[in-house]
Amino acid sequence: MRKVTLFKGDGIGPEICEAVKKVIAALSLDLEFEEFDVGENEYLRHGAFIPQAAFDSIERNKIILKAPITTPIGKGFRSLNVQLREKYDLYANIRPARSLPNIQTPFENIDMVIFRENTEDLYVGKEEKIDEDTIHATKIITRKCSTRIIRAAFEYAKAHDRKKVSCVHKANILKMSDGLFLSIFNEISKEYPEIEADSYIVDNACMQMVMHPEKFDVMVMPNLYGDILSDLASGLIGGLGFLPSANLGEEIAMFEAVHGSAPDIAHKYIANPTALLLSTCIMLEHIEEYEAAEKIRRAIDAVLKEGKVRTPDCGGTSTTQEYTDAILAHL
């Protein structure tokens, strides 16, 4: 029996987790969830965002499936996502953006995968107060972390028959830090002559993504740009409700929906579970349950193509349960 640590999260988190559990149960996989309450509500109840038992579970199972977690803003709390990435060295954030049937956007046939370095850059959170009117933030780029994310992007492209890897940077201004990232990209690209390699300054990359998204296949970039461009990519396909995410380390992997906990619709049972379901598909592939992952994707595509059952975020009136039931029917 394969066990997975499940973080139910805050807001709509428990509701979309229920949808995932029902879909997994319908596939009769040899898989069991160890469930934990985490996030703001857990902190208010017990004084810790993540209980020790949950950390113990992660270290046993090596896999986390995580619903959205609320981190209080402006109260000195660091993002729990950042903490988990740092604690378990989840260096590769991978977000595939794929057009889904019958989801109306100005764009068609989007199929790009963003590799975001996940452990350094400005996200180390190192700031220094120089005086009352001046704050310095430290941007960190290292050869080790740049090398492994860039190599991961090329290895993914090779394994999935992708044709091109694009590097996103600001080396024209940040000549040392982003310059190092770009130079490592150029070095590694020579090891993969069968894969086209090119690079874009980050502001141009944003413009090209919304004018000519077909230019992009696999993209790799430092942490901050990856955060911004992956959200931009979600806009091309209909929003964060359709964007899955994986965070991979050498030993531990975390799969999550990257949208928020949406407290305004919590307990109304109208949340869209698609992003968490698609993240579950990546998790299933990670544990080599490829057929199950493909079945879920086909079922989601079939429901969206029919267009009869839609949650309110994509123009419908269906509940989370009705949408889940429609997916189950296609399974």
Query: Using one digit for the tens of pLDDT, what is the confidence trace for 39-51?
Result: 777 777 877 788 8
Q: Residues 87, 144, 163, 203: which is the catalytic one?
A: 203
198 noted as active-site residue: no
For residue 74, pLDDT beyond 60 = no
Class of domain 1-95+240-331: alpha beta
* Predicted pLDDT of residue 281: 98
Residue-wise pLDDT tens digits, 165-218: 999 999 999 999 999 999 999 999 999 999 999 999 999 999 999 999 999 999
Q: Residues 217, 231, 301, 325: which is the catalytic one?
A: 231
What is the mean pLDDT of the segment spanning 66-70?
A: 90
| Confidence class for position 77, pLDDT limits 50, 70, 90 | low
Tell me which of 14-28, 75-89, 189-203 is least confident: 75-89
Residue-wise pLDDT tens digits, 291-323: 999 999 999 999 999 999 999 998 899 999 999
203 noted as active-site residue: yes
Residue 118's Cβ-side half-sphere holds a number of Cα atoms within 13 Å equal to 28
Boundaries of every domain in the chain: 1-95+240-331, 106-237
* CATH code for the part of the protein at 106-237: 3.40.718.10
What is the mean pLDDT of the segment spanning 94-117?
A: 96
Q: Residues 170, 178, 225, 295: which is the catalytic one?
A: 170
Query: CA 159, 211, 257: angle at the middle one, nearest 5?
Result: 50
* Predicted pLDDT of residue 33: 97
- What percent of the chain is predicted at pLDDT more than 90? 87
Torsion of CA 251, 255, 258, 262, to 10 degrees: -120
301 noted as active-site residue: no
* Predicted pLDDT of residue 82: 78
- Establish whether domains 1-95+240-331 and 106-237 are of one fold: yes
Contact 138, 127 (CB under 8 A): yes
* Predicted pLDDT of residue 76: 52
Give me the chain's average pLDDT, please. 94
123 noted as active-site residue: yes
* Predicted pLDDT of residue 265: 94
pTM: 0.93
What is the mean pLDDT of the segment spanning 116-122?
A: 96
170 noted as active-site residue: yes
Cα separation, 45 vs 22, in Å, equals 28
Query: CA 285, 290, 294: angle at the middle one, nearest 5?
Result: 105
Strand order in the sheet with 92-98: 31-36, 2-7, 63-66, 253-257, 244-248, 92-98, 111-117, 218-221, 164-169, 196-201
Contact 6, 24 (CB under 8 A): no
* Phi, psi at 17, each rounded to 5°: -65, -40
* Predicted pLDDT of residue 80: 78
Q: Residues 88, 227, 295, 323: which is the catalytic one?
A: 227
